[in-house]
Chains A and B, each alone.
Chain A
Amino acid sequence: MTLVLKGVSKVVGSQTHIYPTDLELEKGTMNVLLGPTLSGKTSLMRLMAGLDVPSTGKVFWDGKDVTGQRVQDRKVAMVYQQFINYPSMSVFDNIASPLLLMGKSRSEIDAAVRDTAELMQLTPMLDRKPLELSGGQQQRCALARALVKNAGLVLLDEPLANLDYKLREELRTEIPKIFERSGSVFVYATTEPEEALLLGGNTATLWQGRITQFGRTPDVYRRPVNATTARVFSDPPMNFLTVSKDGPEMSFSGGQSVPTPEGLLGQPNGTYTAGFRPNHLELNPNVGGAMAFKTTLRVTEITGSETFVHLDHQGQRWVGLVHGVQSLTPGQPLEVFLNPAHVYIFGQDGNLVSAAPYSEAA
């Protein structure tokens, strides 16, 4: 089973929600749609499900054109951020409801419901009503209802956004296991880079109605093709600064000069944008010719084992994530260090010119 989008777009009035998009999702894969609110995740999912008809392009399921087909006639399950259950029915009947509609036998239904309930840790609650459950349990009930019918395409739209942090953490490790067993095409929308990384599989980064990159999740994370992808796939945000390339030398604004990285050598001299992730910023000069930057400390946040340092570098905001608990005074100058191996170089158009050398080795 494969889901293929060919030139699919969605225009509503004068607004383009989705620009023409090509995407191919294989059976048995977890596919994350990662992007901020209003980047087009839900619009794209509605097009995949058949809830909306695309303005242009076609949707194929297993090679068959299903573009105009109603959602009821497709094997699709969808779960939303705001979970929906039938309040007057027991948890068992809620989970069983899609199977009843499909006309399954009683014994089949019973086995499937109990199996799914076990997976979602709902077995002790099967006889209760949804409103007697905690928020997390209610959401798991809705998830179970989506999973039980074994749909070929399962669309999860920020399904964990309303859950407690710890429950989210547990379900995030559960969901890939569930999907592995199902063999369906899973599509999972989230605003959180960390969630994409924890889910693994493939990730499509979205920005203003366009897919900016699609590939294996760790590859998209480590080898973003442009600054937009890098920005979408970085939390805390990626830090940026201007560099200028002059032959074999590249100099950083407010920092030293370093040898021009290989990917940039063949490019014309001029200014480029360098980007690096917060966890690669160091407070101690690294071995191996780390670059030093003079910044001003705005605020620190301590997580218990690590410290976020919020910095001002020549009017630009930077964030660093450093090991240990650092007691630093806000408002003070702070020298920070960066290894050139962790620096990505983007061109004026935002496209990647030179990947961070460390990511090539990974």
Chain B
Amino acid sequence: MAKITLDNLAHSYLPYPSSEDDFALKELNHDWMDGEAYALLGASGCGKSTLLNIISGLLHPSQGRILFDDKDVTNAPTAARNIAQVFQFPVVYDTMTVRDNLAFPLRNRSASPEYIASRVNQIAEMIGLEDVLNRKARGLTADAKQKISLGRGMVREDVNALLFDEPLTVIDPHMKWELRTQLKSLHHEFGHTMIYVTHDQAEALTFADKVVVMYDGRVVQIGTPQELFERPAHTFVGYFIGSPGMNLFDAEIDGTTARIAGATVHLDGGYAPGNGKIKIGVRPEFVKLTVEKTGVPATIKRVEDVGRHKIIRLDVDGHEVSAIAGEDDAISEGAQHITFDSGGINVYVDDWRIAPEGKAT
């Protein structure tokens, strides 16, 4: 296992990039700590696959260096980097048994037969393939085949890192739970450095210790799931994490109060936003509908019953705002105002979060 350092890294697919816009991956400095599980999250085209391909050596960066445990591997080919990869679609040898598929990476490196036998059994047990070890991979379901791919990615203990590129996309929702839990147990067990690329926020948040959110070729926040939820550093993080995403309101700020749609909202601290476009962000979880005549005026447009909770769609000053209510909560049609949990309010200037005065975060 290794620490992976990105030093001044950037990439453009153009031969002569002239401006920042020409870079698919904008300048980035980051350490992926040894033994941590990371998710790389963003919409398609945000640069996450570019970054993954640079780490794996499939792509040579146009600028900067990549280091494994402080050793420069920028020019090393994929094979020399000693990493394991699992892709979106299962890559298995159909004519081989499941056992031989799992053993393949170890045999390639001439491990002893005793070690191979015990290691393959251990992995098979962890991912629930022990019953089919002697079957040919051909004819197994897509889920089982992807399990083989995952197992083969994990089978070597000496890899520098494990890279997953949307490994659960083709898996049924019920099976996703099982596989993700198994991946997580495997991480606890073996402590691999893992980088998991996905566009699915639920997968990213539940899998990773730290989530790296990318937007438009740039890393906009690296944080724990809780940090991304409670303190999104950029309005994109607020939008992308959470379902529905964070509500944004144009606001004017004066010290500890904000004016939104003609109403006054109290903030958790004092702010000096300076110049720039000011918005406040409040997640639907922190918006409460009230029959009192206080708060921000809002009109209920519709209520969506999504099972374990309800999503209330509201109109506030011509903008759609969402609030989340519990499964058993009655929604009063007479409610015409919303209030916010003050702890759930974040202030943004030109889309970047600013901290209240006297507080670091």
Contact = CB atoms under 8 A, between A and B. Distances in A.
B206 A301 contact: yes
A166 B43 contact: yes
B131 interface: no
Residue of B174, B185, B229 with most partner-chain A CB within 10 A: B174
A321 B226 contact: no
Interface in B147-192: 172-174, 177, 180-181, 184-185, 188
Nearest to B185: A299
Contacts, number: 96
A325 B188 CA distance: 19
B322 to A, nearest CB: 10
A227 B190 CA distance: 37
B180 A304 contact: no
Contacts of B180: 301
Given A198-B306, A304-B229, A134 B177 contact: no
A121 to B, nearest CB: 14
Interface stretch (B6-14, B109-117, B238-246, B289-297): B238-246
Given A169-B243, A279-B308, A358-B328, A302 B44 contact: no
Contacts of B241: 304
A183 interface: no
A230 to B, nearest CB: 12
A304 B285 CA distance: 12
Given A166-B43, A299-B185, A304 B225 contact: yes
Contact of A325 (B173, B200, B226, B328): B226
Given A197-B306, A198-B304, A198-B306, A167 B43 contact: yes
A42 to B, nearest CB: 14
B252 to A, nearest CB: 29
A134 B199 CA distance: 14
Interface in B321-348: 327-328
Interface in A271-290: 277, 279
B239 A164 contact: no
A37 B306 CA distance: 22
Contacts of A330: 185, 188
- Classify the secondary structure of A's interface with B: mixed
Nearest to A303: B205
Interface residues of B, number: 42
Interface string A232-245: 00011100000000
A36 B174 contact: yes
A200 interface: yes
A197 B225 contact: no
A362 interface: yes
B45 interface: yes
Given A164-B43, A193-B307, A308-B206, A235 B174 contact: yes
A277 B205 CA distance: 21
B68 interface: no
B207 A301 contact: yes
Contacts of B308: 277, 279, 321
Nearest to A36: B172
Contact of A37 (B142, B226, B230): B142
Contact of A235 (B173, B200, B285): B173
Contacts of A67: none
Interface in B206-243: 206-207, 224-226, 228-230, 239-243
Contact of B188 (A192, A299, A304): A299
Interface in B4-54: 43-45
B288 to A, nearest CB: 15
B268 interface: no
B177 to A, nearest CB: 5
B307 A197 contact: yes
A310 B174 CA distance: 14
Interface in A187-213: 191-194, 197-198, 200
Contact of B328 (A197, A236, A319, A362): A362
Contacts of A164: 43-44, 199
A197 B305 contact: yes
Given A135-B44, A198-B306, A298-B185, 6 more contacts: A134-B45, A193-B307, A299-B181, A303-B225, A304-B229, A305-B229
27 contacts: A135-B44, A136-B44, A164-B44, A164-B199, A165-B202, A166-B199, A166-B201, A166-B245, A169-B244, A194-B306, A197-B305, A197-B307, A198-B304, A198-B306, A237-B174, A279-B327, A298-B181, A299-B181, A301-B206, A303-B202, A304-B205, A304-B226, A304-B242, A305-B229, A305-B285, A325-B225, A362-B327
The list of the 8 closest CB pairs from A to B, nearest first, reads: A304-B229, A301-B206, A304-B225, A279-B308, A164-B199, A197-B306, A302-B225, A165-B200
